[in-house]
Amino acid sequence: MSALQQLRDMTVVVADTGDIESIRKHQPRDATTNPSLLLAAAQMPEYAHLVDDALAQSDDVRASHANMERCLERLAVNFGKEILAIIPGRVSVEVDVTLSFDTEATIEAARRIIALFAEQGIERDRVLIKIASTWEGIKAAEQLEKEGIHCNLTLLFSFAQAVACAEAGVQLISPFVGRILDWHKAKRGVDHIPAEEDPGVLSVTRIYHYFKKFGYKTEIMGASFRSVDEIKQLAGCDLLTIAPKLLEQLENDAAELPRKLNTADAQAMDLEKLTLDEKTFRWLHNEDAMATEKLAEGIQKFAVDLGKLAEFVKVKAT
């Protein structure tokens, strides 16, 4: 068995791409998208019809920001619908990242996205709304979950973010393994950190143990991997979302893959349970320099790519 087949026996494999053909090839259960992935996919000729349809179904995107916002939501749903046609599980679709500090606006955007999927006959349990793991985003997700709209809390770097998401009852979190590693490599001035010492891997491992120890139902999906070694260190995690290049490497790897994470070990651990109000959350998150910097950077990067996607769509509209 390949390493990918072995991984699938203990972890749900998710494709981290907006490229529908790549998803078709690797046959993951779930798939995730984000503004950066949609920007890349929207510029591929084979997906031009999805952009054209979003424009045709929207008011003039050159007339107002609101029109463009609605068009981009429809475009994300178009990609999501195509992806859901070839996978058995769920697709994650991100709300406008510029709403990351606005709870009510995030809730309204999520409702619009779910309504667009409903127009296509797609049930809400096949969609995860991706929201940045700010305090405002977590509070938005808490309300949405009460409405039966399930959420994927992304750009998650700190333990405080993870605990707050679990206490809010969100469906799933996406800790960003590779971006945590990037920060520590730069900080230490090194080119390599062994996978078993990888700070991103250790972060997800800690979150996994905590969630399983205290019985939280929130799913943990490691994301943003830099190597297959990171992935192997998290074998047994609830889900792992993996880019096509790394899926290929796992498919061509015949080495034995042992389970690294399991619920029984976590439940036997002596861990302290935290309870976070807003002040405690903000303090603990702020105390983590890596998490503070990477959350801000991630929001900024997705906002830039969302702006580029808007410009690309605007040019197509002329």
Catalytic residues: 130
Cβ contact 225:203 at 8 Å: no
Residue 215: Cβ-neighbour burial (10 angstroms; 0-12, 13-18, 19+): exposed
Q: Any idea how long the chain is?
A: 318
Kind plus residue range of the DSSP H or E element containing 150: none
Cβ contact 244:32 at 8 Å: no
Region for 27 from its dihedrals, namely left if φ exceeds 0, alpha if ψ lies in -120 to 50, beta otherwise: left
Please name which of 69, 18, 68, 70 lies closest in space to residue 44, comparing C-alpha atoms.
18
Q: Where are the beta strands (DSSP E) in the chain?
A: 12-16, 30-32, 91-94, 127-132, 151-156, 172-175, 219-222, 239-242
